Amino acid sequence: MCVGCRKRAAKSELLRVTVGSGVHGQPVVAPDPQGTAPGRGAHLHPTAECYDLAVRRKAFGRALRVATGLSSAPVGDYVAAAHSTAPPP
């Protein structure tokens, strides 16, 4: 299920995200496009719409069980880059 729009979708349509560490050691939501990172993950449509919904609902913190201080900026950057003019890998 997508943590943004909360619709069910095939795993192949969703981006997996996990908890990682930012440059200052703070918890961040890290994109895991390969789906191989260990630990708790959440799934999100890789679109700006669903990312914004998830941020507004604080869905990342809830899904990833991080109460405070969680930055989702890396996923925002990833989603923005995925919709740039560059072709997908």
Residue closer to Zn ion, measured from CB, 2 or 63: 2
Residue closer to Zn ion, measured from CB, 24 or 56: 56
Query: Residue 23 region, left (φ>0) first, then alpha (ψ -120 to 50), else beta?
Result: alpha
State the nearest-atom distance from the C-beta of 32 to Zn ion, in Å: 16
**Closest residue to bound Zn ion by CB:** 2
* Contacts to Zn ion by CB under 5 A: 2, 4-5, 45, 50
State the nearest-atom distance from the C-beta of 37 to Zn ion, in Å: 20
Cα–Cα separations (whole angstroms), residue 4 to 18, 81, 86, 87, 89: 15, 18, 24, 24, 24
